[in-house]
């Protein structure tokens, strides 16, 4: 019995059959990737909770779904091309920093849609995307009642520091002391506080305390770097 080697497979007619794919399947897959990419973009706009909206990143979600679909179609049609594509994609490096962790979820969603459509699992891509979109939208519309802030107060002495802490305890539901800096010029307090409106009144009230030279309230996303 003759042994079939890898070279025999590459030189046989096996490759001739896998290099052809249906033009109709290609058009349907790319068209669906465009539609689902637009759906991902729609959900991303509705659930976006940041301040600066990046239209470039939003449009890239559509492009990511379509490009991934095209790559999977090419890989599935030619075994040699698939090996070369794996080697080519392994050297690709992305240097852009992702500002919001949720952006990573949308990137993986777009890539997954492209992979599933390219593999021919159209129902999974459609119903899976609808389910994911509904879940993300429902979680996005439930906003926290108390917004996190970083509050910084410069106090001239210990008496002013105690007055600031007392004012914070009366005005906010929850606070955490992040840092305390003592210098010859005074004491700097950095606290994480959660406010439910009336942020301006809170800062003004602390600023009127005797011995407080400066008070600053900064909104942040809940991530604190130590």
Provide the pLDDT for residue 127.
93
Long-range pairs of 100-109 with CB within 8 A, sequence gap ≥ 24:
100/50, 100/221, 102/47, 102/49, 103/57, 105/136, 106/40, 106/44, 106/61, 107/61, 107/64, 109/40, 109/61
Q: What is the pLDDT of residues 180-193, one digit of tens each?
A: 888 888 888 888 88
89: left (phi over 0), alpha (psi -120 to 50) or beta: alpha
Provide the pLDDT for residue 104.
84
Provide the pLDDT for residue 224.
45
Contacts of 103 (CB under 8 A, 6+ apart): 57
**Which superfamily does 147-219 belong to?**
BMC (bacterial microcompartment) domain (3.30.70.1710)
Provide the pLDDT for residue 79.
58
Provide the pLDDT for residue 131.
94
pLDDT tens sequence for the chain (226 residues): 556 555 554 455 544 444 556 778 788 888 999 999 999 999 988 887 665 667 788 888 898 889 888 888 877 666 555 555 555 555 555 566 666 778 888 888 998 998 888 888 889 989 999 999 999 888 877 765 567 778 888 888 888 888 888 888 887 777 788 888 888 888 888 888 877 666 677 778 888 888 888 888 877 655 544 4
R_g over Cα of the chain: 28
Give me the residue spans of the domains in the chain. Answer: 8-140, 147-219
* Crossing angle between the packed helical segments 199-207 and 158-171, to the nearest 10 degrees: 160
Please list the alpha-helical segments (H only) found in 98-221.
Answer: 101-119, 122-140, 158-171, 199-207
CA 11 to each of CA 22, 23, 82, 199: distance values in angstroms, whole numbers, following the listed order: 23, 25, 16, 73
Q: How far apart are CA 40 and CA 105, in angstroms?
A: 11
Q: What is the pLDDT of residues 159-169, one digit of tens each?
A: 888 888 888 88
């Amino acid at each position: 019995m003759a042994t079939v080697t890898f070279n025999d497979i590459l030189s046989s007619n096996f490759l001739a059959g896998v290099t052809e794919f249906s033009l109709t399947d290609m058009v349907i897959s790319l068209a669906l990737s465009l539609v689902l990419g637009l759906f991902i973009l729609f959900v991303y706009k509705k659930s976006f909770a940041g301040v600066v909206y990046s239209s470039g990143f939003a449009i890239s979600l559509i492009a990511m779904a379509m490009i991934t679909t095209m790559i999977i179609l090419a890989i599935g049609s030619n075994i040699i091309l698939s090996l070369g594509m794996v080697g080519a994609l392994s050297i690709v490096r992305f240097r852009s920093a992702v500002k919001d962790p949720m952006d990573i979820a949308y990137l993986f969603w777009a890539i997954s849609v492209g992979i599933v459509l390219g593999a021919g699992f159209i129902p999974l891509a459609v119903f899976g995307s609808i389910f994911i979109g509904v879940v993300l939208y429902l979680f996005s519309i439930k906003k926290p009642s108390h917004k996190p802030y970083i509050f910084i107060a410069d106090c001239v002495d210990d008496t002013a520091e105690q007055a600031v802490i007392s004012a914070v305890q009366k005005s906010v539901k929850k606070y955490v002391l992040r840092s305390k800096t003592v210098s010859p010029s005074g004491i700097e307090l950095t606290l994480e506080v959660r406010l439910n409106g009336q942020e301006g009144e809170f800062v003004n009230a602390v600023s009127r305390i005797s011995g407080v030279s400066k008070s600053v309230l900064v909104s942040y996303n809940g991530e604190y770097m130590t």
